[in-house]
Structure 1
Amino acid sequence: MIKKPEAIVFFDLDGTLFNKDVDVLPSTYDAIRKLKQNNIVPMIATGRTPPEVLDLMRDTGIDSIIGMNGQVVIYEKNVVFTNNIDKNVITRLYEYSTRENNIPLAFYNYKMMRVSENGQPAQKFYHHLKQDVPPVDDQIYLKEPIQMLLLLCEQGESLYRDHFPELTFIRNTPYCVDVFNHGGSKGRGISELLKTQGFSDVPTYAFGDGMNDFEMFLTVDHPIAMDNAVDALKDKAEYVTDNNNNDGIAKALKKFGLI
């Protein structure tokens, strides 16, 4: 039987757990260590896939993640939920994207990443992430379950929303748009975690800064916005802490008595 934690704390990455240099502050490392000592589970809640954050999870000792904006949930290294996109929907979207907009795609699941082509849009985006461009395989979705797609573009996503009402489109960086099943979100992932693990009575906290954290803030007991967060997210927060460069996470965890 899985040991029930005293609480669970969910951390967004960019602008939250990461500072402006995409590093984790020493105070945050120390805070995560203290959380674990207090039987409080730290979890990453991100638009990224688990393979993208393996080094971070190793360095911080975090082994649980809400990945791809809630499309996969891994708790203590065990996959407890996935939200796969229908292959027929992906086929339609890929054909539309190629025919109408010339926008390349990336295909993600919780084990791997592929791109439809390695051109300037892919190179710009992955350079922004400080990552290598994934291998090219535009047929991967016919062979493997896919939980998230990316539109590799700087504009043009509004054209997709009317054509694909079964999908959600969220711009996550200047160079890409996250695409996943409508109704999927970090909040949905959290709800699935609490349901599958029998944690409905466990207090939940979340840190975030962007609009892909919105549903997460509506789901947890204690939403905490970084000072650098967008105003719409701050409006939904129980508490606004210091920014991601100035020990905001450690300060809030102390305020709430978690460390």
Structure 2
Amino acid sequence: MSKKPEAIVFFDLDGTLFNSQIEVLPSSYQAINKLKQNNIIPMLATGRTPCEVVDLMHKTQIDSIVGMNGQVVLYQGETVFTNNIDKDVIARIYQFSKQQMDIPLSFYNYEIMRVSQDSQPAKVFYHYLKQPVPPVDDQIYLNQPIQMLLLLCESGEEHYRDLFPELTFIRNTPYCVDVFNHGGSKGNGITQLLQRKGFTDVPTYAFGDGMNDFEMFLTVDHPIAMANAVDGLKAHAEFITDDNNNDGIAKALHKLGLI
């Protein structure tokens, strides 16, 4: 059984733990190490999948993640929660995307990524992420659980919402829209973790900058916004720290007395 931590700190990645060059600042590495020394668990809370951030988790020595905006939760090597999309729903949205919208998809679970076709939108999006385009397999959802889809498009997601009320659509970059079960969020992933691990009495903190962090901010005890965060998120923060290029993570953790 896992030792109960003194606290848990959740870190969004882009615009938060990552600086503008998609790097983790030296001060943040040091702060994460000090958290662990103090029996405080650092966790990633990101729209990205665990398989996308394996190298980052190794470098930071963070072994727990709320991934895909809360659709999977891994805690110290244990799969605590997954939120799989129904195969029939995936088949419907794939056919609509292919036949009516001409929008390619990506299929994600916490171990693999696939794309529906070798397309220019896929090349543009994964270049933006500085990642290679995943392999093509438009049948992957028939034999693998899928927790998140991506619409690889710069516009058009408004045509989906009424047709697929069981799903949530969140534009996460200029080139893609995250798609997952309605009600799924970073906040729900955190709630699942706390309930399933018996951590409901453990103090929780979260750092974020975007509106996909909104539910997370409503869930944790102490939400902290980066100075570069959107105004809508700042309005729900306990306080606002420095930005992601100027040691905002370390400064806030010092202020909170966690390191």
TM-score by length of 2: 1.00
In structure 2, the residue matched to 1:75 is: 75
Amino acid at match of 1:222: H
In structure 1, the residue matched to 2:196 is: 196
Instruction: Tell me the secondary structure at the aligned position of residue 161 of structure 2.
Output: helix
Structure 1's unaligned 5+ residue stretches are none
In structure 2, the residue matched to 1:214 is: 214
Per-residue CA deviation, residues 37-57 of structure 1 (Å, 9 max, x unaligned), is 000000000000001000000
In structure 2, the residue matched to 1:85 is: 85
The alpha-carbon deviation at position 118 of structure 1 amounts to 1.4
Distance 1:4 1:83 in 2: 25
Instruction: Tell me the secondary structure at the aligned position of residue 134 of structure 1.
Output: coil
Distance 2:228 2:144 in 1: 38
The alpha-carbon deviation at position 30 of structure 1 amounts to 0.2
In structure 2, the residue matched to 1:134 is: 134
Distance 2:123 2:49 in 1: 18
Per-residue CA deviation, residues 147-180 of structure 1 (Å, 9 max, x unaligned), is 0000000000011001100000000000000000
The alpha-carbon deviation at position 119 of structure 1 amounts to 1.0
The alpha-carbon deviation at position 97 of structure 1 amounts to 0.6
Instruction: Tell me the secondary structure at the aligned position of residue 169 of structure 2.
Output: strand
Q: Which runs of at least 4 in structure 1 moved beyond 2 Å after TM superposition?
A: none
Instruction: Tell me the secondary structure at the aligned position of residue 32 of structure 1.
Output: helix
Amino acid at match of 1:207: F
Amino acid at match of 2:32: I
Count of paired positions: 259
Matched, 1:97 2:97: yes
The alpha-carbon deviation at position 195 of structure 1 amounts to 0.4
In structure 2, the residue matched to 1:61 is: 61
Distance 1:8 1:258 in 2: 10
Distance 1:80 1:169 in 2: 24
Distance 1:116 1:211 in 2: 27
The alpha-carbon deviation at position 24 of structure 1 amounts to 0.2
Structure 2's unaligned 5+ residue stretches are none
Amino acid at match of 2:236: K
Distance 1:103 1:227 in 2: 35
In structure 1, the residue matched to 2:147 is: 147
Instruction: Tell me the secondary structure at the aligned position of residue 193 of structure 1.
Output: helix
In structure 2, the residue matched to 1:106 is: 106
Distance 2:209 2:184 in 1: 19
The alpha-carbon deviation at position 77 of structure 1 amounts to 1.2
Distance 1:216 1:118 in 2: 34
The alpha-carbon deviation at position 141 of structure 1 amounts to 0.2
